[in-house]
Each structure stands twice: as C-alpha cells, then as structure tokens.
C-alpha cells in the first residue's frame, strides 16, 4: 500500500516541489503520494503548488494547527508527516502519535544553528556571523523540541568568504532538494525507521561528509547524494 504523505509548509514550497517531482519520477514504483499540503499561512507558495498538483490544500486556522491537527491528519489518512519549511511548533499529541513518521529538514548541520528563531535566512546569517566554514542540510525525526529529534541524514556544503545569506541559502537548498525526497522515499519504503531504542535504523552509513560534499559545485553534492541514495 502506498503511504499517504502530508507536507506542512509555511513558505514557498520548493522542498514540497522536489518531493512531488521525485515521487512522480518513480512512477508506479513510488512508495508514497503527497495527499495533503497544509500551511499556517493562507498566502504560502506551498499551497499554490499543492493546488497546482491537484492535492488537498488547507490553510490551517489556529485550531487546525493546534488541538485540531491530529484530526486533520486522520481525516486524510496520513501515514507520514513531512515538515518542509514549517515554522510553527507541532502539537505534542501529533509528535507522539507520529513518532518515527514525522520528519523535518533544517538548513544547517544540527545541532549547530538550530532551535527557536533559527529558520530560513536567520540560520544562514548566524552561520556567516560565526564564520563557520561548513554548513549543510539535516533531515531528522521530529520530537517535542525544536530541531532536536534523532538525525537521519546530513549533507555538508562549503561556506565561502564571499557568501551572503542568500547565496548560502541557495547552495544549501540545492542539497535539500536532492536529499529530502530520497530520505522520504526510504522512510516510506520502510528502509529507514526509528527504533524503539530511539536510534535511527537503516540510514545509509555514507550519509556523512564525503569527498563529493565539499567540492564547491552544487552538482557534485547532488551527484554524491544520488550515489548513496539512488
């Protein structure tokens, strides 16, 4: 049975787009479909994209993004919840019910540059302000704390002296678009899972800094991720 995915997003939805395209590229072999796109912002680009793909879209009111979120997900028979630039706190009853089935992508190498207030360009500004030479993307299971749950996959990108928050964001985003859809695929296939012991099982050992990752051209990172995750 194909898994049903809900994507929660507050922004433009480029990660949503990459997930939808990747699953579509798998054709009948896809293990999952995005059935619901929900946002806390009625004007979020992600909702437009979801509409464009003929998905159910919901601009959540306060109730739907708090006490009503679990019911919303149940109504759409959601198996897997994917946060893609979702900037609100996910209610505890959702993180508990979807333990091991709720993931997030963060545009830095957690646990550095994570936590409250660390989202979007704030993350990249903080990376530059600290003079970090390496940033990257992290995919992790979501628990009750911001940017805290078990890490599934990370991929580094170099930070250059001439970078601005926006050039760095762009470089990291290219990696996000290659990494997140493939991790989601493997989660939906049951290859990657969260064990009762709190450890991530099945994540490829090579999902770690590598030769590919620190070559400056983003194409090399994408090539490296594909070599590991298919």
> In the bound complex, what is the minimum distance in angstroms from residue 64's beta carbon to ligand GAR?
19
> In the bound complex, what is the minimum distance in angstroms from residue 46's beta carbon to ligand GAR?
6
68's enclosing H/E stretch is none
Q: Binding to ligand GAR by residue 178, rule CB under 6 A?
A: no
Q: Binding to ligand GAR by residue 15, rule CB under 6 A?
A: yes
Q: Binding to ligand GAR by residue 105, rule CB under 6 A?
A: yes
Q: Binding to ligand GAR by residue 9, rule CB under 6 A?
A: yes
**Helices marked H in the chain:** 14-25, 45-52, 69-75, 92-97, 121-130, 165-188, 218-229
When CB distances to ligand GAR are compared, the closest residue is 85
Our CB check for ligand GAR shows the closer of 1 and 111 to be 111
Segment interacting with ligand GAR (CB under 6 A) among 27-35, 92-100, 104-112, 186-194: 104-112
Report how far residue 80's alpha carbon sits from residue 48's, in angstroms, rounded to the nearest whole number.
21
Report how far residue 193's alpha carbon sits from residue 153's, in angstroms, rounded to the nearest whole number.
12
Question: Which residues, 6+ apart, have CB-to-CB distance to 171 below 8 Å?
Answer: 157, 158, 163, 218
Note the residues at the interface with ligand GAR (CB under 6 A): 9, 11-15, 46, 84-85, 105-107, 119-120, 123, 173, 176
């Amino acid at each position: 049975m194909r898994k049903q995915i809900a994507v929660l997003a507050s922004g433009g939805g480029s990660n949503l787009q990459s997930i939808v395209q990747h699953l579509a590229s798998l054709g009948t072999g896809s293990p999952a479909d995005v059935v619901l796109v929900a946002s806390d912002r009625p004007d979020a680009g992600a909702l437009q994209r979801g509409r464009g793909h003929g998905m159910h879209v919901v601009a959540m009111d306060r109730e739907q993004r708090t006490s009503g979120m679990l019911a919303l997900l149940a109504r759409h028979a959601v198996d897997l919840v994917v946060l893609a630039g979702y900037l609100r706190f996910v209610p505890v009853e959702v993180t508990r019910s979807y333990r091991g089935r709720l993931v997030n992508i963060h545009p830095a190498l957690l646990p550095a540059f994570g936590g409250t207030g660390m989202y979007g360009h704030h993350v990249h500004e903080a990376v530059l302000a600290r003079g970090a030479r390496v940033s990257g993307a992290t995919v992790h299971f979501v628990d009750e704390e911001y940017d805290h749950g078990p890490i599934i996959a990370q991929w580094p990108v170099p930070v250059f002296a001439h970078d601005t928050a926006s050039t760095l964001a762009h470089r990291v985003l290219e990696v996000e678009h290659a990494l997140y859809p493939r991790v989601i695929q493997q989660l939906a296939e049951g290859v990657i899972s969260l064990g009762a012991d709190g450890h991530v099982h099945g994540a490829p050992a090579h999902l770690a800094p590598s030769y590919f990752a620190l070559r400056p051209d983003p194409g090399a990172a994408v090539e490296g991720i594909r070599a590991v995750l298919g």
